[in-house]
């Protein structure tokens, strides 16, 4: 099963946030992991913010950086292309969603994902509007 993940879901892979078990279960079902071209930037931006706010120490930050880099070697990172951009624009036209969030949806569509996993309700709404099977990770 080809599963596309957005950054909100992927971040749960490296943290103790609510929804981590759901993300782990989706990883278990996946035969291929697909991600948007900007996923690394978004995940590391969130991790950097946690480090600046002293919610994670330097060792924890460096661990996450390394784990993500290692994981990205085996994941399919969709290249930014006109086709991904056009699919992202369809998401923007369908639902009120930010450009960077729409890019996750567009990349999932172009990856021909069997499932899109996100923890972002608006992204889930956009992907469903474009008939992409979607799992919204529940958070408390």
Q: Per-residue pLDDT tens for 85-112?
A: 999 999 999 999 999 999 999 999 999 9
DSSP string, the chain: -EEEE-HHHHHHHTS--TTHHHHHHHHHH-SEEEE-TTHHHHHHHHHHHHHHTTSS-HHHHHHHHHHHHHHHTTSEEPPP-HHHHHHHHHHHHHS---HHHHHHHHHHHHTT-SEEEES-HHHHHHHHHTT--EEE----
Q: Per-residue pLDDT tens for 13-22?
A: 998 889 999 9
Superfamily of domain 2-136: 5'-nuclease (3.40.50.1010)
pTM of the model: 0.93
């Amino acid at each position: 099963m080809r599963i596309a993940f957005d950054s909100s879901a992927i971040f749960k892979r490296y943290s103790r946030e609510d929804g981590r078990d759901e993300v782990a279960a989706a990883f278990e079902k996946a035969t291929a992991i697909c991600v948007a071209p900007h996923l690394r930037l978004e995940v590391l931006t969130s991790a950097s913010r946690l480090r600046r706010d002293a919610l994670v120490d330097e060792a924890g930050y460096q661990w996450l950086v390394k784990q993500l880099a290692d994981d990205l070697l085996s994941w399919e990172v969709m290249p930014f292309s006109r086709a991904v951009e056009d699919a992202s624009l369809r998401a923007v036209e369908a639902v009120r969603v930010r450009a960077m969030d729409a890019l996750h949806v567009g990349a999932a569509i172009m990856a021909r994902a069997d499932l899109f996993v996100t923890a972002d309700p608006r992204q889930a709404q956009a992907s469903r509007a474009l008939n992409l099977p979607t799992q919204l990770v529940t958070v408390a």
